[in-house]
Amino acid sequence: MRKERASKLIEPDYTEYISALPAGKRIQLMVDVGPSGGISPSTLALAAAAQQTCGKVICVRHEQADVGVARRQIETLNLTGVAELRLGRSLQVVEQLRNVDFAVVDHRMECWKFVAIVDANPCGYPTKDNTFIDRKKDILNNRRLC
């Protein structure tokens, strides 16, 4: 039987920020890209924002077992109305999405690849674990938001 891997803990203030920014900007389409496991603290933060904005968070996972775990967690937490799960290779799934307003990419993934392929809403705020991306210049480690 496959062991469920716990998400790396992230700072509570950061999780709060992940939720507050899209909620305050009335963001509609949020994406959470994680390498493995069920839902993460950032998934929960985005789901809280999606509930406030009547938006949606798409959780991308690359293993069937991870999707099953995440689906059960989402149902248990009553987030089925705001969270949608997608199974597949992260880059391929993200490439199919249109008008992404806000994205959180796990720090273990190569964020620059997502920046290159994401169809981002020009007024959105893509973000990568403690690193913000200025979409107008595609510069990593830039603290300015568009």
Q: What is the mean pLDDT of the chain?
A: 77
H-run or E-run covering 128? strand 127-128
pLDDT tens, 12-29? 667 888 888 889 889 999
Nearest in space to 15 (alpha carbons), one of 35, 44, 36, 57? 44
Nearest in space to 33 (alpha carbons), one of 98, 128, 101, 142? 128
* CATH, range 12-132: 3.40.50.150
Report residue 6's pLDDT band, with 50, 70 and 90 as the boundaries.
Answer: very low
pLDDT tens, 73-114? 999 999 999 999 999 998 999 999 999 998 888 777 777 788
Token pair, residue 126, equals 């893509």
pLDDT at 11: 57
Mean pLDDT of 50-68: 92
Give residue limits of the domains in the chain.
12-132
